[in-house]
Amino acid sequence: MILYTSATDVAAALKIWTSYGLPEKFLRHLKFTGNPDTVVPSSFRLGLAAQISTGLAGLSAAYLHYLRTGVEQDVVIDARHAALSFHSEAWYTINDKIPSGDTWDSIAGLYRTKDDSWVRIHTNFPHHRTGVLRILGISDVPAPALRTEVAKAIKEWDSKALEDESAKSGMCVFKLRTREEWESTPQGKALHNTPVVEIKKVGEAERTKLRDTVNQARPLTGVKILDLSRVLAGPIAGRTLAAHGAQVLLVTSPNLPALPGIDVETSLGKHTTQLDLDSAKDREKFDGLVQHADVFLQAYRPGGLASRGFGVEDIIKRRKNGMVYASLRAWGWEGPWADRRGFDSLVQTATGFNADEADAFMSFQTSQGKSVDWAPKPFPMQAIDHASAYFLAFGINVALGKMITDGGSHEVRVSLAGVGNWIRSLGRIDATLAFGSEVKQFPKTRADEEIVSLSTTWLERRGKDGGEGRKMTALRHAAVFATTPVREGSLNGSDEDDWGAPMRLDADEPVWV
């Protein structure tokens, strides 16, 4: 095994690990392989971000396993594998075919504005598309609106004015900013000293053993997790915890739009059910699930669940034996944007990543004697979402450990913008190296030999009315455990607790198994 671990890399992981009171000596079990700065084309250290966040999620699971069993083990994270896993939604197939449909809405993306700036609009959900088009005065009937129409309408707006108008109706439109512009905003200042993961005790409870551990095969065996999240960070966090043995029940609403092309991959290893929390009957069923849950993971819009009586204080009161309440937001819990909706691509645009990446890429192109027009440059994957997912899993594992050592109930908070700040703290890569020939590009197809070699096969798990027996290939988990390998793929009929690929959001009854 070839290790590539610089002093900077070790310090970045060490600083996070020990800041939560975790033993420094346990870090010896975290092994990094490969050079993270040559695994993905970006001037930001996205390979290192993938390695550290995936590694800390894995190591925290290993530490939880140690607390429950006394068994220590190494966790190995390969840089290229971790980077590819930051784009996992792009690498799966169903019945050996690439799923149809685009994960991005036809009008989503970056547009020029009247003040010679840019905005990014996010319209992947139908109600967001409808709301943005209403602001722009464009009809989506009888024929769908075209990008050319949207571009023309946005060119009539100043970037800040369109951002402000969209905020009034809860729409997802954000102005392109440089890093300096972002850091001078009230929201940028509010997030300046926010830790990448916030963990705090929010209730009293006796220390727990997290159920019987005699036959514990994996770190989270016996742990029950309610997953109320959508696209991408929350679901990936739940998927990661399921890989470590937890029983994860993904609860979605039948009244909300879905993104099947993403949902099918991020729900691997989970059970899935649908409940309408505005229905008294379904609320009663949901309350029953909460009574026996160890973790409540939610990533809906700020205040959405709290307004229905499922905020952190409400949930903690329902669980006298202690539990973990974990939340994801786009912009954090302080500042004027705390309650605003947001997604990875919007955070990249608003906080300066797209502008900085564009500057670095233009510098590289100029050095190669090429003349190009400047344009915002997004990351090659939704890196902030994926890093946030693994930090959510890390925070949940740490909080579960605190329930064992100290007792109590604990709240875990992660924000996309806060994780973005952390990615910046890792430093930059010189443009010549970042976009040069030494850097590995992402595969162009899911049939690429590299993807195939890192993938595993899942079979559709039979749900409440049976399955169709479909087969799915998906990227394997990037954390390799020495003693308790992650739970993934299919067990050829010997399922230990009826897990697999649900392939749909309503595959199961709303019960713990």
The answer to whether 435 touches 41, Cβ cutoff 8 Å, is: yes
pLDDT value for 5: 53
CB-CB contact of 172 with 166 (8 Å): yes
- Residue 469 confidence (pLDDT): 80
Query: Which of 251, 235, 257, 232 shows the shortest CA–CA distance to 343?
Result: 232
Collect contacts of 155-163 with beta carbons under 8 A, ≥24 apart: 155/111, 155/112, 155/113, 155/114, 156/114, 157/113, 157/114, 157/119, 158/113, 158/114, 158/115, 158/117, 159/113, 159/115, 159/117, 159/118, 159/119, 160/115, 162/113, 162/119, 162/135, 163/119
Angle between helices 383-405 and 416-425 (to 10 degrees): 100
Q: Which tokens belong to 25?
A: 């000596």
pLDDT tens per residue, range 386-443: 999 999 999 999 999 999 999 999 999 999 999 999 999 999 999 999 999 999 999 9
Tell me the β-bridge partners of 472: 94, 458
What is the rounded CA–CA span in Å between residue 2 and residue 496?
34
What residues are paired with 202 via a beta bridge? Answer: none
Say if CB 326 and CB 396 are below 8 A apart. Answer: yes
Q: What is d(CA 456, CA 472) in angstroms, rounded to the nearest whole number?
A: 8
The pLDDT score that the predictor gives to residue 462 is 67
Backbone angles phi and psi of 266, in degrees to 5: -80, -5
Distance CA 485, CA 471 (A): 22
Tell whether omega for the bond before 232 is within 30 degrees of 0, i.e. cis: yes
Tokens of 431: 């443009």
Helix (H, G, I), strand (E, B) or coil at 194: coil
Q: What is the pLDDT of residue 319?
A: 85
Distance CA 476, CA 481 (A): 12
pLDDT by position in tens, the chain (length 513): 444 556 667 778 889 999 999 999 999 999 999 999 999 999 999 999 999 999 999 999 999 999 999 999 999 999 999 999 999 999 999 999 988 777 899 999 999 999 999 999 999 999 999 999 999 999 999 999 999 999 999 999 999 999 999 999 999 999 999 999 999 999 999 999 899 999 999 999 999 877 655 567 899 999 999 999 988 999 999 999 999 999 999 999 999 988 889 999 999 999 999 999 999 999 999 999 999 999 999 999 888 899 888 999 999 988 888 999 999 999 999 999 999 999 999 999 999 999 999 999 999 999 999 988 999 999 999 999 999 999 999 999 999 999 999 999 999 999 999 999 999 999 999 999 999 999 999 999 999 999 999 999 999 876 555 556 889 999 999 999 999 999 988 754 444 545 689 999 999 999 998
**Within 13 Å, how many C-alpha atoms sit on residue 208's CB side?**
24
The secondary structure of residue 118, as a DSSP letter, is: E
In the β-sheet with 295-298, what is the strand arrangement from edge to edge?
198-203, 409-415, 324-329, 295-298, 224-228, 247-252, 271-274
- Residues 378 and 357: their CA atoms lie apart, in Å, by 7
Kindly state the tokens that stand for 160: 């800040």
| 374, 362 Cβ separation under 8 angstroms | yes
The residue whose two tokens read 């949940």 is: 396
User: Taking the CB of residue 76, how many other CB atoms lie within 10 A of it?
Assistant: 19
Closest by CA to 130, choosing from 174, 176, 170, is: 170
Of the candidates 122, 94, 96, 102, the one whose C-alpha atom is nearest the C-alpha of residue 504 is: 94
Burial classification of residue 513, based on how many CB atoms lie within 10 Å of its CB (0-12 exposed, 13-18 middle, 19 or more buried): exposed
Measured between alpha carbons, how far is 264 from 270 in angstroms, rounded to an integer?
A: 10
Pairing assessment for the beta strands 247-252 and 224-228 based on DSSP bridges = parallel
* Per-residue pLDDT, 1: 42
Q: Per the structure block, which two tokens stand in for 253? A: 């609403």
Cα–Cα separations (whole angstroms), residue 221 to 217, 226, 456, 459, 486: 7, 15, 22, 21, 11
Q: How far is CA 86 from the centre of its chain?
A: 9
3-state secondary structure 406-447: CCCEEEEEEEHHHHHHHHHHCCECCHHHHCCCCCCCCCCCCC
Q: Are 267 and 287 in contact (CB under 8 A)?
A: no
Residue 288's DSSP bridge partners are: none
Smallest CA-to-CA distance from 461 within 273, 250, 271 is with 271
